[in-house]
Amino acid sequence: MRFGVRGNSNKLSTISYEQLTKLQRILFLALFFIGTNAFAQQTDSLAYQLQREKVNNLLGKRSITFNQYFQSLDMHTGIFGFQTKKDIRRSNEILMDIVKTDNAVFKELKILLDYRITVQTEVQNRSEESENRNTSFMNTINKLRTQTEKIRAEAAESNKQAS
């Protein structure tokens, strides 16, 4: 299935269904990270921020390359305004660049998500350690209170016997 898209000129360019779905996925990811940036905590580490920057740069590069692709579709250097093999090859090369950029974006996103999971796991582990430490302190305090009460009772008992 092919969908028609009008470029800068009145000529009709076509985009395949696969290209359209890929565009939708990239657009979704871009919107996801824009939303993520809005809700990101200020405590993000420098490495996480650099990784996000890397992904955003790749998305920017992809956008530029995609614009080049649309421009290449509008190029008709052949006789009577038709596309030549060279025009089609150039368009295909640009598409391959887009695919390579997409692969790089997915790779960097995986690194970013793995980093985020690692940070969340560390925070959860620290929280559990603090909770265990607090529980241990409470148990120690209760034992000491029990011992103190026992010693006071023994002291009161020995005071009664001494009097």
For the stretch 142-152, what's the b/e string if a residue is b when 16 or more beta carbons lie within 10 angstroms of its beta carbon?
eeeeeeeeeee
- The model's pTM is 0.53
> How far apart are the C-alpha atoms of 116 and 3, rounded to whole Å?
38
Mind listing the pLDDT tens digit for each residue in 92-115?
Answer: 999 999 999 999 999 999 998 998
Q: How many domains does the chain have?
A: 1
Residues 58, 60, 61: CA angle, nearest 5 degrees:
65
Mind listing the pLDDT tens digit for each residue in 123-138?
Answer: 999 999 999 989 989 9
| Domain limits for position 116 | 2-162
Predicted confidence at residue 14, as pLDDT, reads: 59
Between 46-74 and 17-39, two packed helices, what is the crossing angle to 10 degrees?
150
